[in-house]
Amino acid sequence: MRFEAPETVEAAVSLMAGEPGEARALAGGTDLLVQLKSGRVAPDLIVDLKRIPSMTAITQEDGGFRIGGAVPAAEMLEHDALTAAWPGICEAAYLVGSTQVMGRASLAGNLCTSSPAADTVPAMVAAGAMVRIVGPDGARDVACEDVPSGVQKNALKKGEVVDSIFLPARPARASDAYLRFIPRTEMDIAVVGCGISITRAADDTIAEAKVALGAVAITVQVVADAAKAIIGTRLDDAALDALAAACSAACKPINDKRGTIEFRTDVAGVLARRAAKIAYDRAGDAA
């Protein structure tokens, strides 16, 4: 195995694409090092992305934020403008693991590991995050929900890495929230996760919404019917009932010791109600 730490995105792509065997990109390493140690992966080349300045930077762009592919969760949580604009994504990042894990783990890594239960993914999908993927054929921007393609499978091709994740500009009175269910209070993997982004109109009805569920199917689920159920409403009880029903209907979960199919299906609706209320309240407070 070789280890390389290039200083430009171009050099990283050229190393990844030029490796005849298996190449793995290293951002925070909180998944990759565990897989290396267990022998589940045995790459010929590891490319550390953290010497590339743009990969470790959070920059403002077109009124939104571009988060480099190797920015750790801890840095996001220390960024006041980012936490103010996207509290839902930041609370999902806060749930990813311990303080130590947050010191390393990145949004891009969480996305590329492509676990169905990834906490940050439903939050990013609800936010309309765009993922910039760079590779030997140049750069392409892909909607976050189109990146995971299966359990630990994703849309990246050989030689490609995630350059950054772009969170678009927020209109006034817009916010988001993420909630998950775990059987304990900390340090666990989501049984169900729900990310919701809401924009309020001047009359306090919901002008725009996006709802995403994690851990209830092979990949993150965008629930268009759930968004439809609350758009145009002030989140009255009937709207919340319709939201919850749409979320439960979108679930195709597994049955395991951590949550039965019935439980996950029901909890998806419960979390959606709660997350919608939080996002709606936050949107009312947002400038």
Chain positions contacting another protein, by CB under 8 A: 1-3, 5, 26, 28-30, 33-34, 36-38, 46, 48, 50, 72, 74, 97-101, 103-104, 186-187
Name the minimum Å distance from CB 184 to another protein.
10
- Give the integer Cα–Cα distance in Å for 100 and 107: 15
Of residues 46 and 216, the one with the C-beta less far from another protein: 46
For residues 144 and 247, the answer to whether their CB atoms sit within 8 Å is: no
Which CB, 182 or 196, lies closer to another protein?
Answer: 182
Smallest gap, in angstroms, from Cβ of residue 187 to another protein? 6
Q: CB-wise, 66 or 104, nearer to another protein?
A: 104
C-alpha triplet 136, 121, 48: angle, nearest 5°: 40
What whole-number distance in Å separates Cα of residue 248 and Cα of residue 178? 17
- Smallest gap from residue 48 Cβ to another protein (A): 6
> CB of residue 240 vs another protein: minimum separation in angstroms?
30
**Long-range CB contacts (< 8 A, 24+ apart) of 199-202?**
199/171, 199/173, 199/174, 199/283, 200/173, 200/174, 200/280, 200/283, 200/284, 201/173
Nearer to another protein, 101 or 245 (CB): 101
Q: Select 1 or 151, whichever has its Cβ closest to another protein.
A: 1
| In contact, 17 and 159? CB cutoff 8 Å | yes
Q: How far is the CB of 151 from another protein (least distance, A)?
A: 20
